[in-house]
Structure 1
Amino acid sequence: MPKLAPTDETFLATAPKRFERTFAIARPAAAVWEDLTRDGTLDWCRALGSGAQWTSPRPFGVGTTRTARVLGLLAVQERYVVWEEGRRKAFVGESINVPILKRIAEDYVVEPDGEGACRFTWTVAVEASAVGKPGAPLNAAIFGSLFKDTAKHYGVA
């Protein structure tokens, strides 16, 4: 699988293209965190099929790996560079089977918001490769669908 350009957590703020959504969820932060770290997580996102698959054993932390498959065609191998148990996790892409991206990183932050509720902020940072630049509208649609499916999953408007 072709390697992506090396990157780190700073890319989340400096990427040429960022997608971000904050969800106000009527569930405790611990329950949402558990949902985001369970086997097959994100399986509610239609574009991800059966969800992202962990490729590291538990307990998870910095260095944990997983693979996400998008639309059944694209596979991204991910490595976590931030892991604050119960609150935040962020990964960088290490390789991709179709070289449409130069770099990708995602950040998941879950914060309590009163009793029995939380805010979940999902940030996606990408830099397209020369081959992938014409597909920018498709990327935006895919990330938009992930956010829409997540809102539906959590019963958020």
Structure 2
Amino acid sequence: MAWFTLERFDPSFFETARHRHSYTMDLPVAPETVWRGLAGDVPLAWCRGLAGGRYTSPAPHGVGTTREITALGLLHLREEFVRWEEGERHSFCVTEASLPLYRRFGEDYVVRPHAHGTRFTWTFAYEPNPLLARPAALTDLPGTSFLRKLIADTKRHFGAA
């Protein structure tokens, strides 16, 4: 399989990216439960569009930890964590992908206690490959549709309305 290298970035990209989608959901479970699902041995196992999520570096996990996952059965991603606040927040940048869709891509997960469980904010930030930047519909519309499916799977898994 061919791999395409993406540009690395620091956590500030999640605030400055031109293409940024953030979803906040209130989940009726303890923050520890959500964190285990995000950072456990099989991360995001409930998301039907994701498969094969596994860490490729040993525990304990933190900044510099690497992981691999496959989206929609055809986009293989290698990730490196650029932020890790145990039990509360972690963020990664994709370092390599099997398709040349992005120049930069990453996700940020924030887990906070809430009156009835957990407030979970999942942010996706990316910069399309310059060849795909116009028209934006080539990368944005299909991508946001997939992201909404991930959010729906997460709400369903944790019993949120």
Q: Is TM-score (shorter-chain normalized) higher than 0.5?
A: yes
- Structure (1 or 2) with the greater strand fraction: 2
Segments of structure 1 that go 5 or more residues without pairing to the other structure are none
Q: Cα offset for 1:110? A: 0.6
The residue that corresponds to 2:13 in the other structure is 11
After TM superposition, the structure 1 stretch with the greater mean CA deviation from structure 2, 128-137 or 40-49, is: 128-137
Equivalences for residues 54-69 of structure 1 within 5 A? 54-69=55-70
Identify the match of residue 36 of structure 1 among 27, 38, 42: 38
Bigger drift between 29-38 and 127-136 goes to 127-136
Structure 2 unmatched ranges of 5 or more: none
How far has the Cα of 1:39 moved from its partner? 1.6
1:46 paired residue among 38, 45, 48: 48
CA distance in 2: counterparts of 1:98 and 1:35, whole angstroms: 27
Cα shift readout 1:7-39 (whole Å, capped 9, x = no counterpart): 111110111111111111111111211121112
TM-score where L is the length of structure 2: 0.90
Aligned-residue identity in percent: 38
Q: Which runs of 4+ in 1 moved over 4 A?
A: none
Distance in 2 between residues matched to 1:147 and 1:31, nearest whole Å:
16
**Residue number in structure 1 paired with 2:82:** 81
Show the 5 A alignment for 1:1-157: 1-50=3-52, 52-114=53-115, 117-133=117-133, 134-157=138-161
User: 1:70 Cα shift?
Assistant: 0.6
Separation (CA, whole Å) in 2 of partners of 1:137 and 1:11? 21
CA contact (8 A) 1:83 1:90 kept: yes
